[in-house]
């Protein structure tokens, strides 16, 4: 499916060849969490692992679970979203890869749950941030998942990021509780 946003961009399902750029944009949003998952403070190693996961099928970061935003210059943003009921199934390959590459056992908290499609990560090219692209992606996801598919969307927002929380609330998300992710207290919102 390709969605055209007149004169601005195209939002489409990701392809395997998009993996490298998706990883770069996702790391903008979650480098601290992903470095903690691999147990190293290495942006390069974390990016490499994430890119590998994105290029594979059937895991929470897979290109299969991503949408990208393209302009005439190329991909300018990416978002990952998946059925929260499948979190354990989608997380298992992530845990296995990190165990095999870093000899690291970890049991991350459940950031999602059954009954919601979870927006795991949203990243926008740095020179395009603050120009409404994140809002457009979220509006697209709300239309696609909430209005068309009649699903609930959920996401977590860092308590130390009031700007993002204001955006989500403005778009219609509501605070339903709190969760911990990689040791950080997050607010859980749904629409």
d(CA 28, CA 39): 18
Q: Which CATH architecture has domain 2-190?
A: 3-Layer(aba) Sandwich (3.40)
Domain spans of the chain, in order of start: 2-190
d(CA 124, CA 131): 10
Pairing of strands 66-71, 2-5: unpaired
For 57, other C-beta atoms within 10 Å of its C-beta total 10
Contact 119, 147 (CB under 8 A): no
d(CA 38, CA 46): 7
| 4-19 pLDDT per residue, tens | 555 568 999 999 999 9
Residue 171 scores a pLDDT above 60 = yes
d(CA 9, CA 31): 26
Residue 187 scores a pLDDT above 60 = yes
d(CA 188, CA 186): 6
The three-state secondary structure class of 51 is helix
> Global pTM?
0.92
63 band by pLDDT with thresholds 50, 70 and 90: very high
């Amino acid at each position: 499916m390709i969605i055209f946003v007149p004169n601005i961009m195209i939002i489409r399902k990701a392809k395997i060849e998009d993996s490298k750029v998706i990883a770069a944009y996702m790391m903008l949003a979650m480098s601290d969490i992903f470095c903690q998952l691999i147990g190293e403070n290495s942006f390069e190693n974390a990016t490499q692992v994430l890119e590998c996961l994105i290029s594979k099928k059937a895991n929470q970061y897979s290109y299969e679970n991503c949408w990208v935003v393209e302009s005439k210059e190329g991909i300018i943003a990416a978002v990952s979203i998946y059925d929260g009921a499948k979190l354990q199934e989608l997380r298992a390959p992530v845990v296995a890869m990190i165990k095999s590459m870093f000899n690291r056992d970890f049991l991350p908290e459940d950031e999602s749950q059954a009954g919601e499609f979870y927006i795991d990560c949203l990243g926008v090219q740095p020179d395009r941030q603050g120009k409404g692209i994140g809002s457009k992606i979220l509006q697209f996801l709300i239309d696609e998942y909430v209005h068309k598919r009649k699903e609930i969307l959920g996401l977590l927002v860092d308590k130390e990021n009031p700007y993002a929380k204001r955006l989500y609330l403005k778009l219609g998300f509501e605070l339903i509780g709190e969760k911990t992710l990689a040791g950080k207290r997050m607010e859980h919102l749904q629409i």
